[in-house]
Amino acid sequence: MRLNESIVVSAPPKLVWEQIAEPSNYLHFMSGITRWEVEGERRQGIGARYRMLIRVGSAEVGGLIEVVEWAPERDLAWTSVLGVDQRGRWRLRELPDGRTRVELRYSYGVAGAGLFGWIAERVAAPSLGANLRRSLQRLKRLVEHERLRAEASRRRAERARSAA
């Protein structure tokens, strides 16, 4: 089953990328996530592994995932190593007005689970989809807030320079 949610963030891709590339941010903005820990030496980039869990219904599901695609400010994709089968992708694209379209794709399932697997995927879809939407909204707030703070800080610095 594949879910796809998107949002437009009033900030350049660079600022969005800074948030999604840092694994310690995921617990702050990803809704339903109960665990997102770096596993191993590598924190970022291709081959970085994370242990993640997301609450879905009666269980926290997830497992070990690995980053398989890493194109800064454009694409970040991961796939499952252990646990439920999953693939995820952040897709950032700059809009002509300088804003960023952020797309979060997530596909999941359990290979070989047959009919009950098919049903379970569909039963889980509404709550998972809602979590993805909330995650994108939180990411948008976080990035836009960061942008405002950065701009305010820059203005303060300019005022201080001109006063001097």
8 Å CB contact between 43 and 26: no
Report the candidate in 93, 87, 97, 84 with the shortest Cα–Cα distance to residue 66: 87
Please give the C-alpha separations between residue 100 and each of 73, 92, 131, 162, in angstroms, as whole numbers. 10, 6, 21, 33
Residues with Cβ within 8 Å of 81's Cβ and at least 6 positions away in sequence, in order, are 49, 63, 64, 65, 66
Question: Smallest gap, in angstroms, from Cβ of residue 22 to other proteins?
Answer: 23
CB of 120 to other proteins, least distance (A): 4
State which residue, 85 or 94, has the beta carbon closest to other proteins. 85
Per CB under 8 A, contacts with other proteins among 21-60 are: 53, 56-60
In angstroms, the CA 101 to CA 4 distance is 13
Q: Tell me which residue of 17, 26, 125, 22 sits closest to 71, measured CA to CA.
A: 17
83 binds other proteins (CB under 8 A): yes
Q: Residues 64, 68, 77, 125: which binds other proteins (CB under 8 A)?
A: 64
- Amino acid identity of residue 145, one-letter, is H
Using CB under 8 A as the binding rule, whether residue 113 contacts other proteins is answered as yes
- The interface region with other proteins, picked from 12-20, 105-113, 143-151, 155-163 by CB under 8 A, is 105-113
Q: How far is the CB of 45 from other proteins (least distance, A)?
A: 24
- Taking CB under 8 A as the criterion, the residue among 27, 46, 95, 123 binding other proteins is 123
Residues within the interface to other proteins (CB under 8 A):
53, 56-64, 82-84, 110, 112-114, 116-117, 119-121, 123-124
